[in-house]
């Protein structure tokens, strides 16, 4: 019995089985083979056979032929399906036939790039020549060209290499702006390979699409049109996405011919520990619990967490719970420096590291050897990410486990109730917006630096008439010069240096730790996150160690930290204000108005809470005076129509208040009515016949102590009608909050984006919508990245899924899994939220 079998038995045992809501075993699949295609060079065929490959997978064979016929290709077969051969074979084959051919390979990470170089070298070493003409293996000359490449090597590569392995950043800042010294490469550039394109969505993808536009412009200058070969994990719109990235027709190849072992996919819902509040046991304690069984049975595991903070907290918990194995457990996330990350990757490969807690950085296809188990701490946010993460288990066709532990968030609970959503539905669409004005402007600067623009030029699919305003803009900033509609770069500057492909701001904040006069860089944080992650007084976690932030200096791009051993961590509090700039389009529906427009979001971090470890007690609250950040972006908003509101009032669907206001309530009521002279404080009407009501201004349910709730300042005499109206307003406010809550959790599912790519805000008297009750959802990137636009089209999807989630939730009056915990944003808003959702559906 293998270790994995033992673990499976444990999972099926009493300790876990009652919380396992779904267990699917996908049977192993045998490979679908095909012979070598006809035009493969004999020496290449022999090299493959020498490597142990006597035949190809069906998809590798098809790829070869499609490429031979001159197509652009997107290969979207599964993880570890041998996608690399799909492009290496045609490229190497072509070089063998025409040695002057060159190819450019783009990878998103250093680790991937060096893995791929090894693969080419391995194949290269087995290429022998049959007759005596010369050494064949020197015909294939691959080389990595990136930030680490030395000056001498760079010259050699430009002179002699024919397969250039690099990354989008290097292409953007190191190669394209110097294309004249790369002349040989560009003149013979038959192939451009872009690996893992699914990660190039959102901001990064929009930048990359523009880098590709520049690349094609430069290639065209040298008289060449290259073939694009791309690979991707499974996403719904692989073909469409690829076509948007390179702006040319692409053929989709998705039928996977490779083999798989038995794959166990297990959905686990932690038990409820507080019925009324609807609280379940947290994913961190649950992960720590199962880690015990995994470690005991020697099963190498990756834990995928949703946030950097969770990685750190989990790691800390694991190391303190399993002290003996503390050394064999590591965190992995992008804030670590490159060297640390590589050490961890090696430890996974040689088995010395038994458990890694990671954000999604490891989603990328690095050859790690077989990982027996994957634990997903919470739904990773998209079906594609789920497939990628679960695909990391059992890479070498052994049996494997992918375990999803659901968190209390609405989305996770939705998935538990609808496993078919996860297992059967096709993954989401990937979105990019290459024509976002900020991004486009940046790349036009670079493009202009590379080659002049003249009348009737195009930029990718962007025509001259759309280009010209940007070029004229550059003339006005004295970066460009124009005469007779010919634009030249005219500034003593190198624009690509100022532009980062991954964010709005170029330079990250470096985190410096001062210790005994020595300063060490422990990591970095992007500008946008800095205000809420490393504000003065924040506790920053790195590899399980706590650092206190003493100072944040955005001008010098530095945060000063020092080691600390305090017993708490911090969470910051933000104030947000939203203003409408313009409405782009709007549509009136039966019960609501939907709009898409331009808004300005102003945020300010106003303070933070100190939260004790493990017990989660709030130790203190401090206020901060941080600078505000302004974001101008595209947003979708939904405004409740007056008809809907009238409906709400008339339906009167909520139950009557049956709160226990305390034993003193009658006396208090009498006091208040007396104080108010038995008059309604809103309309002035006197009591006649029946007693007026006494209304809590701040709702009773918001208080933990009924004495505070019943203080006379909080009470007011109202006639029954005004009372009902007041209650209705409260209901609307709470219904709206609940709506915002459930939308913020479900919208990312529809848009295949991260939760942090969207901002959500509600206001019963919204400034952006003529003081009507409204929910706004916006792209967290200046100028918008296409998310709100997509939501505008598919908002009924969101509404319907939200309605179903809330309806099916088992809680009493609101919980973290549907509309938000009772008592947090106002009042338990489950009922009003549900009513609103049902009305929105029509």
Partner 1 sequence: MESLFEKLKALGVNLGQENLHIKTSSKFPIDNVIKGEWLHHQFGDLYEVNNLYDYKYQHGKFGIRREVIFTKLFDISRIESKPLSLKDILFIDTETTGLSGGTGTMAFLVGLGYFTENGFTTEQYFLDDPSDEMGLMIKLNSVLSKFEVLVTYNGSSFDLPLLRTRFLINRVESPLHNKKHLDLLHLSRKLWKLRLPTLKLRDVETEILSFIREEDEVPGWMVPQIYFDFIRNRDARPLKGVFYHNCMDVLSLAVIFIHIAELLADPVTNENIDRLDLLSIARLFENNGILDESANLYKISIERGIPDDLPHKILFRYGQICKRLSQPEMALEFWELAYQNGDFSSAIQISKYYEHNQKKYDEAMRWALNGQELIDKDPSTSQSKELAHQELQKRIKRLELRLINN
In this structure, the number of other CB atoms found within 10 A of the CB of residue 383 comes to 23
Stretch that binds partner 1, among 12-20, 151-159, 434-442, 687-695 (CB under 8 A): 434-442
| Residue number, 110 or 178, with CB nearest to partner 1 | 178
C-alpha span between 448 and 177 (Å, rounded): 10
In 355-433, where does DSSP find H-type helix?
A: 383-390, 410-417, 419-423
Which of residues 448, 530, 739, 834 is near partner 1 by CB under 8 A? 448
Q: Which is nearer to partner 1, 158 or 244 (CB)?
A: 158
DSSP 173: I
Half-sphere exposure of 177 (CA within 13 A, CB side): 19
Q: Does 1 bind partner 1 (CB under 8 A)?
A: no
Judged by CB under 8 A, does residue 581 bind partner 1?
Answer: yes
492 is a site residue for partner 1 (CB under 8 A) = yes
Kindly state the smallest distance separating residue 800's Cβ from partner 1, in Å.
34
Write out the binding residues for partner 1, residues 160-199 only, by CB under 8 A: 177-181, 183
**Could you say whether residue 202 binds partner 1 (CB under 8 A)?**
no
User: Nearest 5°: phi and psi at 30?
Assistant: -85, 160
**Rounded Cα–Cα distance for residues 507 and 502 (Å):** 10
Nearer to partner 1 (CB atom), residue 576 or residue 581: 581
Residue 82: which of 43, 116, 40 has the closest Cα? 116
Sole binder of partner 1 in the list 437, 536, 662, 823 (CB under 8 A): 437
Nearest to 119 by CA among 93, 155, 147, 83: 83
Q: How far is the CB of 477 from partner 1 (least distance, A)?
A: 4
Told to check if 494 binds partner 1 by CB under 8 A, we report yes
# residues near partner 1 by CB under 8 A: 42
Minimum CB separation from partner 1 for residue 441, in Å?
7
The three-class DSSP label of residue 32 is coil
Which 790-809 positions form the footprint of partner 1 (CB under 8 A)? none
Site string for partner 1, 626-665 (x = CB under 8 A): ----x-x---------------------------------
Asked whether 534 and 509 are in contact (CB, 8 A), the reply is yes
Does position 366 bind partner 1 by CB under 8 A? Answer: no
**Would you mind telling me the total number of residues written for the chain in this entry?**
842
| Cβ–Cβ under 8 Å, residues 525 and 557 | no
Instruction: Tell me how far apart the alpha carbons of residues 368 and 345 are, in angstroms, rounded to a whole number.
Output: 7
Whichever of 464 and 706 has its CB closer to partner 1, that residue is: 464
Out of 488, 668, 671, 685, which residue is the one contacting partner 1 (CB under 8 A)? 488
β-sheet bridge partners, residue 260: 29
Find the distance separating the first CA and the last CA of the chain, reported in whole Å.
56
Cβ 172 to partner 1 shortest distance, Å: 12
Give the span between the Cα atoms of 483 and 469, in whole angstroms: 15
The secondary structure of residue 276, as a DSSP letter, is: T
The span from the CA of 835 to the CA of 172, in Å, is: 52
User: Of 169, 256, 450, 763, which one interacts with partner 1 (CB under 8 A)?
Assistant: 450
In this chain, which of 82, 278, 434, 783 binds partner 1, going by CB under 8 A? 783
Please report, as residue ranges, which positions from 465 to 484 form the binding site for partner 1 (by CB under 8 A): 469-470, 473-478, 481-484
Q: Measured in whole angstroms, how far is the alpha carbon of residue 73 from the centre of its chain?
A: 26
DSSP character at residue 172:
I
Q: Identify which of residues 454 and 576 has a Cβ nearer to partner 1 in the complex.
A: 454
Exactly one of 451, 506, 527, 682 binds partner 1 (CB under 8 A); which one?
451
Q: Which is nearer to partner 1, 19 or 600 (CB)?
A: 600
Task: Describe the crossing of helices 830-841 and 795-808 by its angle, rounded to 10 degrees.
Answer: 140
Query: Nearest 5°: phi and psi at 206?
Result: -65, -40
Of the pair 599, 746, the CB lying nearest partner 1 is at: 599
22, 309, 491, 557: residue in contact with partner 1 (rule CB under 8 A): 491
Tokens 């007056």 -> residue: 642
Residues that bind partner 1 (CB under 8 A): 177-181, 183, 437-438, 441, 448-452, 469-470, 473-478, 481-484, 486, 488-495, 581-582, 600, 630, 632, 782-783
């Amino acid at each position: 019995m293998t270790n994995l079998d033992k673990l499976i038995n444990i999972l099926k045992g009493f300790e876990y089985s009652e919380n396992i809501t779904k267990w699917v075993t996908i049977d192993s699949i045998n490979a679908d083979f095909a012979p070598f295609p006809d035009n493969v060079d004999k020496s290449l065929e022999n090299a493959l056979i020498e490597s142990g490959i006597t035949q190809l997978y069906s998809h590798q064979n098809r790829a070869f032929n499609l490429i031979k016929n001159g197509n652009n290709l997107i290969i979207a077969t599964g993880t570890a399906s041998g996608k690399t051969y799909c492009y290496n074979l045609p490229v190497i084959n072509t070089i063998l036939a025409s040695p002057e051919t060159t190819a450019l390979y783009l990878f998103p990470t250093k680790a991937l790039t060096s893995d791929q170089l090894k693969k080419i070298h391995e194949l290269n070493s087995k290429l022998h020549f049959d007759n005596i003409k010369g050494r064949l293996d020197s015909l294939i000359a691959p080389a990595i060209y990136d930030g680490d490449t030395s000056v001498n090597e760079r010259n050699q590569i430009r002179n002699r290499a024919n397969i250039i392995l690099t990354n989008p950043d290097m292409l953007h800042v190191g190669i394209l702006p110097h294309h004249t010294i790369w002349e040989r490469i560009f003149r013979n550039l038959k192939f451009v390979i872009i690996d893992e394109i699914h990660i190039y969505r959102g901001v990064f993808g929009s930048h990359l699409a523009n880098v590709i536009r520049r690349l094609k412009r430069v290639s065209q200058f040298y008289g060449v049109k290259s073939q694009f070969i791309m690979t991707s994990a499974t996403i719904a719109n692989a073909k469409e996405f690829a076509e948007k990235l390179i702006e040319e027709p692409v053929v989709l190849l998705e039928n996977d011919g490779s083999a798989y072992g038995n794959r166990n996919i297990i959905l686990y819902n932690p038990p409820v520990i507080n019925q009324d509040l609807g609280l379940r046991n947290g994913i961190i304690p649950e992960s720590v619990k199962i880690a015990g069984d995994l470690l005991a049975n020697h099963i190498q595991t990756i834990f995928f967490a949703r946030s950097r903070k969770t990685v750190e907290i989990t790691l800390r918990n694991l190391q303190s719970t399993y002290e003996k194995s503390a050394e064999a457990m590591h965190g992995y996330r992008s804030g670590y420096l490159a060297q640390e990350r590589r050490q961890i990757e090696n430890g996974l490969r040689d088995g010395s590291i038994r458990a890694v807690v990671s954000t999604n950085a490891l989603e990328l296809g690095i050859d790690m050897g077989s990982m027996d188990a994957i634990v997903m701490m919470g739904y990773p946010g998209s079906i594609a990410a789920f497939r990628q993460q679960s695909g990391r288990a059992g890479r070498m066709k052994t049996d494997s486990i992918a375990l999803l532990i659901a968190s209390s968030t609405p989305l996770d609970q939705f998935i538990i109730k609808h496993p078919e959503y996860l297992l059967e539905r096709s993954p989401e669409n990937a979105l990019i917006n290459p024509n976002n004005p900020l991004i486009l402007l940046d790349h036009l600067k670079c493009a202009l630096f590379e080659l002049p623009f003249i009348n009737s030029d195009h930029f990718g699919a962007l025509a001259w008439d759309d280009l010209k305003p940007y070029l004229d803009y550059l003339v006005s900033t004295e970066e460009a010069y124009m005469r007779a509609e010919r634009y030249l770069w005219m500034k003593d500057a190198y624009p690509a240096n100022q532009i980062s492909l991954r964010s709005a701001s170029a330079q990250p904040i470096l985190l410096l730790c001062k210790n005994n006069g020595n300063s060490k860089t422990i990591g970095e944080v992007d500008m946008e996150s800095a205000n809420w992650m490393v504000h003065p007084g924040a506790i920053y976690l790195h590899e399980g160690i706590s650092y206190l932030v003493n100072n944040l200096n955005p001008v010098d791009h530095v945060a000063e930290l020092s080691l600390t051993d305090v017993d708490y961590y911090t969470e910051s509090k933000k104030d947000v204000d939203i203003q409408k700039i313009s409405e782009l389009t709007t549509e009136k529906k039966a019960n609501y108005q939907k709009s898409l427009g331009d808004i300005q979001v102003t945020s300010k971090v106003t303070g933070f809470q100190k939260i004790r470890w493990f017990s989660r007690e709030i130790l203190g609250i401090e206020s901060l005076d941080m600078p505000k950040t302004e974001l101008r972006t595209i947003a979708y908003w939904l405004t409740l129509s007056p008809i809907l509101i009238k409906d709400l009032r008339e339906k009167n669907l909520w139950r009557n208040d049956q709160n226990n206001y305390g034993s003193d309530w009658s006396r208090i009521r009498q006091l208040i009515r007396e104080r108010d002279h038995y008059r309604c404080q809103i309309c002035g009407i006197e009591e006649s016949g029946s007693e007026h009501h006494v209304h809590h201004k701040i709702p009773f349910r918001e208080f933990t102590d009924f004495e505070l709730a019943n203080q006379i300042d909080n009470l007011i005499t109202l006639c029954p009608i005004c009372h009902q109206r007041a209650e209705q307003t409260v209901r609307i406010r709470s219904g709206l909050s609940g709506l915002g809550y459930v939308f913020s959790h479900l919208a990312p599912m529809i848009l295949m984006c991260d939760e942090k790519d969207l901002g959500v805000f509600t206001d019963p008297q919204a400034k952006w919508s003529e003081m009507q009750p409204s929910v706004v959802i916006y792209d967290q990137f200046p100028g918008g990245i296409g998310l709100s636009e997509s939501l505008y089209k598919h908002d009924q999807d969101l509404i319907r899924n939200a309605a179903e989630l809330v309806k099916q939730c088992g809680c009493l009056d609101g919980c973290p899994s549907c509309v938000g915990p009772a008592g947090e944003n106002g009042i338990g808003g489950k009922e009003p939220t549900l009513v609103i959702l049902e009305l929105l559906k029509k």
